[in-house]
Structures are given as C-alpha cells and as structure tokens.
Amino acid sequence: MSVSAFLIAQGVSVRLSGRVVLKDISLALSPGHLVALVGPNGAGKTTLLRALAGLVPSEGAIQVGGDALSSLTLRERARRYLPQGHIVHWPLPARDIVALGRYPHGATDPARLTAKDSEAVLRAMQATDVVEFGARRVTELSGGERSRVALARVLAVEAPVILADEPTASLDPRHQIDVMKNLRQAADGSALVIVVTHDLGLAARFADTILVLSEGRLVSQGAPAEALSERVMAEVFRISAYRAEFQREAVIVPWAEI
C-alpha cells in the first residue's frame, strides 16, 4: 500500500491545551480507498481528521501527494473536509452552498460560475440527488436532505482527499446508506475518502480499510474483519459482536457489553 500511498503520516502527535490527544500515529493511505476511522468516544478520531486536514497543529510529518502538509498554503491544503453536524448559519439556497465547494478553485461568487465550476457543481448535485431542491433554502430542508447538500458541497471541491466527520450521524438507515454509497463512489473514482463513524456495521460494510483509534493511539488497522477482530472489539470497545458475511461483505453487529 505504501508504494502508491497518497496520504502519509509519520509519528503524528497532537496536544490540545497541554493534553496529549494523539500519540505517535503513523499511516499510509492510497487513493481509491474508503477508509473508516472508528473508536470509542474521546479516542481522538475528530482530532486525527482535523490534523490530516491541517486544521490543528501537530508534531511529526504529514505528507499529501508527495508534499509536506506544513509546506502548503491554507488554500492548497483546502480539501474536502466535511465537519460534524452540517451546520449552515444562514438560509442560503442549496445550490449556493454546493457552489461554495468551488471556492478553493477561485469561484467566489455562486452566481457567476465558470462552465467548469458549474459542471462540477452539477455533477456533485446529481451524485447526491439534490438537484431538485437546488433553489430551496437549506434551512427549509429535512435533516437527510441537508446532509446530502453538505455532502454535495464537499464532493464539488473535486479534491483528491475527502475527510468526513460522522457524515451519517442522525440520518435514517436509508440516508445513511445513500451517503456511504456516495462516498464509496467518490473512492471508486480514485479519491481517498476517510470517514469518521460510530457505526461499525456501516464501516465494515463499505470501507476497504478500517483504522481503530483508542486513547489517542492507532491500535488496529486493516480490512474490516481483521481490523475489527474479536480481540479489538473486546479490548477497545468492550463489547462482543455478531460476525458474519453477507454478499461477500463483512457483517459486524455490536451485540453485548463485556
């Protein structure tokens, strides 16, 4: 994997107000992969995602596409980072929100997009099936619709890395699957997609690689069934799980506390 690795972290540690949140994280991730980042509450998942996005200062080295993250300007670092919660503070039309994804490409005004930018916006809106409510204000949309708009905004950047923090939180099962399928598609289209999630079932079903964080350390990584082995489930999550295989995908259903 390291031969064609696109995102490389070596010995990354993060301290937030004196407390060590991440300790010595090393990983190498390739394009075309959907990576799920899982772990108990407070394990440092969001912090790792933000460190990889260059949003929090970290020790150690992070390389993206061969360049050191620290050598890039803020605009160059700009990646498809989707924060938790899909907040939109003003009732803007959904299309304008999606068009903000083109901001790093110099498209500062959603009303005046170049042909290339509007095509990217349209592609993203079609992928997430939000074209029909493009003119509606995001605040008038349902939670599921809004999360798809937020996802479209991230896809519209068309950057090689997507970092999504709990994109499926508070969605119904149908929309959870929708969102994961969209991310899966982006990965199949050669992007590197990293998703933070608490849903081990979704992670096992859709991810190529699972990274398990516990107390700021990377304790396990690999294909779903290996990374979420019975031992890891017991030690990290302190649960047992029902394990099976369905249509050649790993099925992991958290079952009982240990």
Partner 1 sequence: MSLQNVMVTADIAARRRSGVMASLVALVVLLVLASLGVGPVRLSPVTVIDALFGGGSDVAQVIVREIRLPRVILGFAIGAMLGLSGAALQGLLRNPLASPSLFGAPQSAAFGAVLVISLGLADVRSYALPVAAIAMAFASVFVLLAIAGRNAGLLILILAGLAISSLAGAATALVMNLSSNPFVALEIAFWLLGSLEDRSFRHVMLALPFIVAGAIILFSQRNAFRTLSLGEEAAQSLGVDVGRLRLMVITGVALGVGGAVAVTGTIGFIGLVAPHLMRPLIGHDPTRLLVPSALTGATLLLAADIAVRIIPSTSDIKVGVLTSIIGVPFFLYLIMRERRALAGGVA
Tokens of 33: 């992969």
Bridge partners, residue 92, by sequence: none
* Cβ atoms within 10 Å of 40's Cβ, excluding its own: 15
Residues that bind partner 1 (CB under 8 A): 50, 53, 55, 73-83, 87-93, 95-97, 100-101, 103-104, 108-111, 122, 125, 131-135, 137, 153, 157
Q: Are 45 and 236 in contact (CB under 8 A)?
A: no
Residue 83: CB minimum distance to partner 1, A:
5
CA 93 to chain centroid, in Å, comes to 24
DSSP structural state of residue 114: -
Q: How many helices and strands in the chain, by DSSP H and E?
A: 9, 12
Q: Are 122 and 158 in contact (CB under 8 A)?
A: no
Nearest Cα to 236, choosing from 228, 248, 245?
Answer: 228
Residue 127: CB minimum distance to partner 1, A:
14
